[in-house]
Structure 1
Amino acid sequence: MFNTRSNEFKAALLAAGFTGDLVLPGDADYASSLVRFAKNSQKNAALVAFVKSAEDVSRIIKYVNDDTAANSTDKIPVVVRGGGHSTSGDSSTEGIVIDLSRHLNTVRVDPDAKLGYAGGGANWAAVDKEAIAHGLATVGGTVTIVTANGSILTANESSHPDLYWGIRGGGCNFGCVTEFVYKLHPQLNSVFAGPLVFPPPLLSAVTSALHEWRTNSSEDEGVIFGITTRGPMGGPALVVNVFYNGDEAEGRKRSAKFYELGPVVSGASMMPYENLNGIHNQAIPYGENCHLNGFTRGTRGVTPEMSETMFKHLMETASAPGPCATDTVAPKMTMLWEFYHLGKVASVAPDATAFRMRIRHSLSAILINWKPETPEASADALERVRTFKRVAEATVKETFEGGNKGENDTGYGNNETANSKTADGARALYAGNYPRLQEIKRTYDPHLMFKSWYPIRPLNAEAQSQKGLHCEVRIIHDRESLQLRLHLVG
């Protein structure tokens, strides 16, 4: 629909002083500009704008606002592309893509001030590489953000503190971040990490070892445990990715229960810290068809009986006939259990930031990869993930007599994608923090320019909705460029 206006968009932005690269359908780099981590989430944009500055972003937003004022029934959809890791299409559109990945992807570090400056298109691989060169790593800081009226703001604890509160968990709802400034802390240059692979008959033994490891592990350790229909050797497999923030001898000692079971692949070793966040990249490559979903298991672990039930259903779900399967290749399905020590996360009050899930929780992620490139195949793959998720959640609930979900366990939005496009999903995700987020939304984005991921309804829009008025929802933003999940980092 909007492709007929591509040249018009380009001419208007150049006239406004746009300094980056504008790519249209038919240009040599158009096809490559659409590529995303999940191939099924790609869309044919009318224009891809590789911005060079916050001012370029502001020019696009102001142009869209002006165009909307003149054509209120035909609003140009706009999304922001950071790292391109969304599996639900949040960084793709048939309108205008604000792409940060080409020019706003650099990272610089001030080692004396212990600050890291990352462009909005940088991913964690770039951040980790620059920070660890100075023996540092990061968890949080300050942002430069372009809001819905085109204003360029700095948000931190002293400047626009309400906005700073909102973006720490509020996702894409308040604008386009062109620079992150991170507080850095000391970190060892090398750590012990990697995969231990086991055959499926050892599933009960592996989960028993996992339980014993959890009981005795320290805050310097972590494990991601996965069951997959297609592992490193081509068939079903169990993968235990171990981590120890220290030397190899002690790391092997901490993981001894797993080694005693005789892994068929022992891939754990000392590695540069900056490689840690990309440890799953080979197993989950960029550019394939992919859907991601997941759920929170509270503070409980995984029992042998639970893992046996889930493994059986995972194999059955993946092997069923359907559009996302071919005559020779079934879709690949994987379930991951993440076990981290989250004492620091839990030490923050649930209303201190928009991110409310301040508990010692355990996350599970469900992924599917498939080959056929049709809408029917994508829909089939998504339904398989949702079907398996229902079984997995029911198994957890049955095992732990209702689970261990408390008041502040509202779920982890990046994994729970089923409701990520709706205001009801946002209300459930943010729970007690939602009213304050509505007030911030009213201040910085009253007309819902940014609304592709758990869209927050401004306070006035919510009141109108309750009176029977309805607003159209379009996908227009992307928040995934700096998504700190071990298995999704470029």
Structure 2
Amino acid sequence: MSTITWDTHALDELTADFRGPLVHPGEPSYDELRKVWNGSIDRRPALIARCTGVADIRSALTFARRTGLPVAVRGGGHSFPGHSTCDGGILLDMAPLKGIRVDPVRRTARAQAGVLLGELDRETQAFGLATPAGIVTHTGLAGLTLGGGIGWLMRKYGLTIDNLLSADVVTAEGELLTASEDSNADLFWGIRGGGGNFGIVTEFEFQLHPVGPIVYAGPVAWPIEQSPELMRFYRDWITDVPDELTTAVIHRWLPALPTIPSELHGRRVVMVVASYAGTCEDGERVIAPLKAFAPPLLDLCTERPFVTLQSMLDLSFPHGRWYYMRACDVAELTDEVIDIAVERGLAIDGPFTSYPIFHLGGAISRVPADRTAFGGRADGHTFNFVGATLGAEGFEHQREWFRNSWRAIEPHQIGAYINFLGDEGPDRIRSAYGPATYDRLQDLKRKYDPNNLFHLNQNIPPH
């Protein structure tokens, strides 16, 4: 990285005013703090500002405006294309902001910008409550929420944004606003699906629901050769399942985990991960037809703590692996789409590469399309192709699997989940939102961030 020159007076002012640590290149903690979840992202910020509150965020933004440095914002660092870091800019690290407050009477929770999904679940489950939030517990709550938030409760209780009651937002000019249905309603509309384009959310308020602490959930797996029959059965079975049931079909090699018999490690499988947001008795009854499809190779769908369900995929997507991803939504699982899904599953030739197909609908589809900025309310399924390796070796080979998979499914895509997008250009972002929503987002961007300070994201430039 070339040497960064900046206004030393501005840096002196920031240093005097900033309460959290300011970490520069060469300092002992720098290399560890600049890392993000995706190991293929190797970027070097000029400065890492570890924010301890709103005052720190405002000071860091003032510094960025004066120096012209690019601004990256990191909650959990899970941005697939690495938007939560930068080269030669200032990284605003929200990790120190870990406050969570649960109100079990009102069934609400307030959580700060550095909270991870598992940390929120731990606090809310102490009262048998939860809000829909993701599938990997070390994901950052902020990024997940701002992009929409799919998860194991979504068909019953909606997306994460459908349970967002309010948010505190620091704008590009350093103004602190509360966004809700009753206050700055246009901003509230935009942050529910529009990503980090309009400001830095410092605290979220969520609606909670009675969930767990024990749920009926888990994966059921069959040999991958049974994928054609399984997927056609699955398509018919989910047509009339209750909203309490959220499922995903996954093609992959079975990982070497303690919960999986050693003789099955490395077996190529097609699995259905099921989660029932209701009583365990009802869940067992509803999922019984899936288990009866054919004798499974592995059946781990049973009663388990909700927090165990939430962390079930953590070891399959750890920090530091090299990931390459792309995603799209499809309207339905037609025979042609199923044939593509099967063929791409059979073509997987790496132990860490996989792709889930999430079943949408339910509560997601009943929210009016114009109520939030999220696109794809009426879509049927989300495909998420994930090519992964331990490091650089073999990475390009897995990317080729990914490219072939994308070419096959692209004619059937009708949109995309914004949190699953890579660096794919403005046309892809526009198509994910649709023209009307995208234009409205551009108007909002012009109002709250006319100079596009917050551009390291799935960027929506101002009109």
Match of 1:464 in 2: none
SS across alignment from 2:402 = helix
| CA distance in 2: counterparts of 1:2 and 1:190, whole angstroms | 53
Higher relative contact order (Cα pairs below 8 Å, separated by 6+ residues) = 1
How many corresponding residue pairs? 420
| CA distance in 2: counterparts of 1:437 and 1:203, whole angstroms | 40
| CA distance in 1: counterparts of 2:339 and 2:438, whole angstroms | 38
Could you tell me which of 211, 215, 220 is aligned with 2:235?
A: 211
In structure 2, the CA distance between the partners of 1:378 and 1:172, relative to structure 1 (3 Å rule), is farther
Match of 2:419 in 1: 414
Offset of residue 229 of structure 1: 4.4
The reply on whether 1:133 has 2:133 as its aligned counterpart is: no
| CA distance in 2: counterparts of 1:452 and 1:379, whole angstroms | 25
| CA distance in 2: counterparts of 1:37 and 1:451, whole angstroms | 20
Counterpart contact for 1:230–1:332, Cα < 8 Å: no
Offset of residue 457 of structure 1: 2.1
| CA distance in 1: counterparts of 2:248 and 2:301, whole angstroms | 13
Could you tell me which of 388, 403, 418 is aligned with 2:405?
A: 388
SS across alignment from 1:169 = coil
| CA distance in 2: counterparts of 1:5 and 1:110, whole angstroms | 48
The reply on whether 1:295 has 2:328 as its aligned counterpart is: yes
SS across alignment from 2:420 = coil
Residue identity matched to 1:429:
A
- List aligned pairs for 1:9-408, cutoff 5 A: 11-15=12-16, 17-68=17-68, 76-94=69-87, 95-101=89-95, 103-138=96-131, 139-229=163-253, 231-232=255-256, 233-260=265-292, 261-298=294-331, 300-301=332-333, 303=335, 306-316=337-347, 318-319=348-349, 330=350, 332-340=352-360, 342-373=361-392, 381-394=398-411, 397=412, 405=414
In structure 2, the CA distance between the partners of 1:287 and 1:128, relative to structure 1 (3 Å rule), is same
CA shift digits 1:378-401 (9 cap, x unpaired): 56644542331111334xx4xxxx
| CA distance in 2: counterparts of 1:208 and 1:429, whole angstroms | 27
Offset of residue 315 of structure 1: 4.3
Offset of residue 363 of structure 1: 0.9
Offset of residue 80 of structure 1: 0.4
Offset of residue 53 of structure 1: 0.3
Could you tell me which of 424, 428, 431 is aligned with 2:431?
A: 428
Offset of residue 32 of structure 1: 1.7
SS across alignment from 2:165 = strand
Offset of residue 361 of structure 1: 2.2
| CA distance in 1: counterparts of 2:118 and 2:408, whole angstroms | 34
In structure 2, the CA distance between the partners of 1:383 and 1:130, relative to structure 1 (3 Å rule), is same
SS across alignment from 1:311 = helix
Percent of counterpart pairs with the same letter?
A: 28
CA shift digits 1:271-306 (9 cap, x unpaired): 2223333221122222211122111111x1364x75
Counterpart contact for 1:54–1:146, Cα < 8 Å: yes
| CA distance in 2: counterparts of 1:214 and 1:197, whole angstroms | 17
Counterpart contact for 1:425–1:454, Cα < 8 Å: no
Give the TM-score normalised by structure 1.
0.79
| CA distance in 1: counterparts of 2:281 and 2:427, whole angstroms | 50
| CA distance in 1: counterparts of 2:104 and 2:382, whole angstroms | 33
| CA distance in 2: counterparts of 1:57 and 1:141, whole angstroms | 23
CA shift digits 1:205-224 (9 cap, x unpaired): 32233134213311111211
Offset of residue 270 of structure 1: 1.6
Offset of residue 187 of structure 1: 2.6
CA shift digits 1:156-200 (9 cap, x unpaired): 122211111111111111011111111223333211111112212
| CA distance in 1: counterparts of 2:172 and 2:285, whole angstroms | 53
In structure 2, the CA distance between the partners of 1:6 and 1:266, relative to structure 1 (3 Å rule), is farther
In structure 2, the CA distance between the partners of 1:378 and 1:445, relative to structure 1 (3 Å rule), is farther
CA shift digits 1:45-87 (9 cap, x unpaired): 222111000111110111111223xxxxxxx111000111112
| CA distance in 1: counterparts of 2:7 and 2:345, whole angstroms | 48
| CA distance in 2: counterparts of 1:313 and 1:437, whole angstroms | 35
| CA distance in 2: counterparts of 1:294 and 1:426, whole angstroms | 12
Counterpart contact for 2:211–2:278, Cα < 8 Å: no
Residue identity matched to 2:357:
W
5+ residue gaps in structure 1? 69-75, 320-329, 398-402, 460-490
CA shift digits 1:121-179 (9 cap, x unpaired): 11221222212222222221211111111112111122211111111111111011111
Residue identity matched to 1:289:
W
